[in-house]
Structure 1
Amino acid sequence: VTLPDPEFVAGSQGWSVSRRAGRSRVTVARGGAERGNHVWTDFPEPLTKGGGYRLKIDWTPTTAGATVNLHLRKPEDQTFHVIGEVEVGETSGKPRVDTVDFIVPEAGYSQFMLGALHFTGRKAGAEIRSIELIQVPAAALAAARDDKGGAPAAEALAIPPNTPNREQIILNVINDPQVQQLKDRILSVVPELTLYVGREMKEYTWNKVGGPADLLALPQTVDQFQRLVELAIENDVPYRVLGRGSNVIVRDGGIRGLVILTGGLNEFRLEEGKFIAGAGASFIEASYFLLENGLSSLEWASGIPGTVGGAVFMNAGTNVSDVRATIESVTYLDSRGQIKVAKKHDIVWGKRFTTFQQHPNWIILEATFLTTPADKDELSKKMTRTVQVRESHFPLESPNHGSTFKWWRAPRLIMQSGLKGYRIGGVQISTKQPGFFVNVNQATASDYEALVNYTIARVYEHSGFLLEPEVEFIGERPHRYERYTTESPVTDLEKKATGPQA
């Protein structure tokens, strides 16, 4: 459960409470930093006695004191219970996220509370952006507490040590000398290229999640694409091609190596009745370009987000048609950076599948579609109906990646499994169309991945059908498990296996 901009109530005049710009502000009045002056906000429902919970608060505490206590509160008798102590010190007045794990001692607690006693000095109080509460195994929390009832140890919750936060992940990329050297090498060969280091992919995805790419390139010409691929191959650097990020979930750890966006290849042209579109062009705009020219081919795509290249890559479609229906050929760069042309019959097609998915290092440059003359008014009516149906059925007002699972009956199975509206962190299964998972409050990719996996398990438990994601997970999780290396490339075991070397 996430409480964005939580609504606080003051129990006395020792506090003043206000809300604005997506955040709550609680301020201690002059002389109000005394025992018994409290502010609180309600959880959606009472907490379970003996239940284990993790509370995460995104806030800016301001105090001259060294620490601030976080509490649970019972509205019936106004008693409260300390669940954690937060060290403030020199970070007073700065944005931060604090996490505490606790076990509910008894029934009746249903509020989060702050006490004025801990907020002293000038402008004392707190600005709270959100409070997140999730259940965790109580047994793990209990096992981790010491004899004095201390906080649980991270290892008891199976959290890998030194798991970096968002800021640390970005800094690790920016401060990596190999990344900086590769950047200099690329710009020495392609000086006109737009190239970023450590840019978060959440700025380039439709669902607004994703950690930093080591290097993010925005080429504008086929020649730049070719030179980038050649450089990546020469330097043994992994590379990944993305369009507008409409059907991917980039994990919070980001993407190592080089990410290439196709947005610069956005040309439309007509040649002898055939429609040729650059891979980075909008798929929706492609359908309207054909409408303006009175040509039928992609009118069913008037509501599908993403790029032409992405649509070809996954054989995008609706219950009316798909890319395969009118495509003639695809021009692409192969894994050696050579320009190739694949005819329709050279490509294996399937439900949201093409040959290109088996060759992630191929880069689609443009696609050629067959067209037929059509009446503009009739085309316009079809496209308008398509857009209206999508707007009425799908939660287009919230960030999302489109349909999450491949089977058209997946939304029905999700709903029958009792998951409609279910939420983990900042991600919710849409109440409008359960096949869509929407970002409702600063979600992370981990939120998305957890909810997708949970949904697969629940649907399987309910129906025996194993859902397969249509959305693609790419990149790394924030944590890394232990990595092992040897002192030299050849180990003693390898020497014994191969014998003496000449």
Structure 2
Amino acid sequence: MHKDTILKELEAIIPKEIIKVDEPLKRYTYTETGGKADFYLSPTQHEHVQEIVHFAYKNDLPVTYLGNGSNIIIREGGIRGIVISLLSLDKIDVSDDAIISGSGAAIIDVSRTARDKSLTGLEFACGIPGSVGGAVFMNAGAYGGEIKDCIDYALCVNHKGELITLTNNELELDYRSSVVQKDDLVVVEAAFTLEPGNQEEIQSKMDDLTERRESKQPLEYPSCGSVFQRPPGHFAGKLIQDSDLQGHRIGGVEVSKKHAGFMVNVDKGTATNYEDLIHHVQNVVKEKFDVELHPEVRIIGQHPDE
């Protein structure tokens, strides 16, 4: 389909104001990298998401979902087809011991809402920069907690545009994986079941975790968060540190001197710089320790020469 035709048909099914054409994606990623999206759509209702996905499925158009861009690298060639931003689905409701949140809400804000309502179980998420949808997508976790521990269900849209509800077990949450990833679903809402707690104790735990995070992580630079998954029996950061790779730079991106598990954009780095540095680190660690590092960060989009 021609771009003008796609635009005309999209405007017939969703509000015009949520459609952007040839939108630079570097505006929406923590790494501050990324080319243009053919169509960047910001739905405000579940029904919008369903309409868009059904339209794309019917016309064989690729669809990419974006949360707040905290654990993703988008290549300079951008993304063809449709990009759906979920950030406008950010409503957070509380009902008894449950929090029901739109997938675009920051998981940090959900954690703070739980604290404000004296609900315990989401303290671990107080420093995770991702959206709720992204947190479910990769079963985000930190400091001994993970989404699997507290999620009740997720409302998702499948590739045909159908709305489905998946329970905790049906989500198949495992280390940095879920059925959302495997079946190419998109989360539009999630419900978390928590326990009544003491607000002061909850705040104290969050303060402790925040202090630990700020003292160890390079939050002063743009980054994609923790780059690699934890290899069995090892810690990625320790392997990288012991390979003398801290401070190693390609272009404007370097392995953080503060935390070896992070790569930071210190001087107008590009997605290609990130990818090249990731491959270099993988090769050095493999050669030195015979351990394969697998990226935790998602790398998507087209290379600039494609």
- Fold equivalence (TM over 0.5): yes
What amino acid does structure 1 have at the position aligned with 2:101?
A
Deviation at 1:222, TM superposition (A): 1.0
Equivalent residue of 1:449, what SS? Answer: helix
Aligned to 2:252: 426
Of Structure 1 and Structure 2, the greater helix share is in 2
> 2: distance between equivalents of 1:198 and 1:388?
40
The answer on 1:471 being equivalent to 2:289 is no
* Partner SS state of residue 223, structure 2: coil
Matched letter for residue 473 of structure 1: I
Instruction: Give the TM-score normalised by the residue count of structure 2.
Output: 0.96
Identity %: 36
Show the 5 A alignment for 1:183-202. Answer: 183-202=7-26
| AA matched with 2:200 | D
Amino acid in structure 2 at the alignment position of 1:456: Q
Task: Tell me how far 1:319 sits from its aligned partner.
Answer: 3.1
- Separation (CA, whole Å) in 2 of partners of 1:426 and 1:215: 28
Q: Of 72, 77, 98, which residue of structure 2 is paired with 1:274?
A: 98
| Alignment correspondent of 1:328 | 152
Letter in 2 for 1:352: R
The structural deviation recorded for 1:240 is 0.8
Q: Which runs of 5+ in 2 are unaligned?
A: none
1:210 to 31, 34, 43: 34
Deviation of 1:187 after TM superposition, in Å, equals 1.0
CA distances 1:86-108 after superposition (whole Å, capped 9, x unpaired): xxxxxxxxxxxxxxxxxxxxxxx
* Contact 1:215–1:258 (8 Å) recurs in 2: yes
Distance 2:39 2:236 in 1: 36
Name the structure 1 match of 2:56.
Answer: 232
Letter in 2 for 1:226: Q
Matches within 5 A, 1:96-495: 178-360=2-184, 362-407=185-230, 409-480=235-306
The alpha carbon displacement at 1:433 in A equals 0.2
For residues 2-54 of structure 1, the C-alpha deviation after alignment (integer angstroms, 9 at most, x for no partner) is xxxxxxxxxxxxxxxxxxxxxxxxxxxxxxxxxxxxxxxxxxxxxxxxxxxxx
Q: Is the 8 A contact 1:403 1:436 kept in 2?
A: yes
> Matches of 2:214 and 2:143 in 1, distance apart?
16
Distance in 1, Cα, partners of 2:168 & 2:14: 33
Mapped to 1, the partners of 2:214 and 2:151 lie a distance apart of 27
CA deviations on 1:146-192 (whole Å, 9 max, x unpaired) are xxxxxxxxxxxxxxxxxxxxxxxxxxxxxxx8223212220122134
Q: Is the 8 A contact 2:124 2:143 kept in 1?
A: no
In the alignment, structure 1 segments of 5+ residues that lack a partner are: 1-176, 481-502
The alignment partner of 1:412 has SS state of helix
Is the Cα–Cα contact under 8 Å of residues 75 and 300 in structure 2 kept in the other structure?
A: yes
SS of equivalent to 1:369:
strand
CA RMSD, Structure 1 to Structure 2 (Å) = 1.2
Aligned residues: 303
Q: Cα offset for 1:432?
A: 0.2
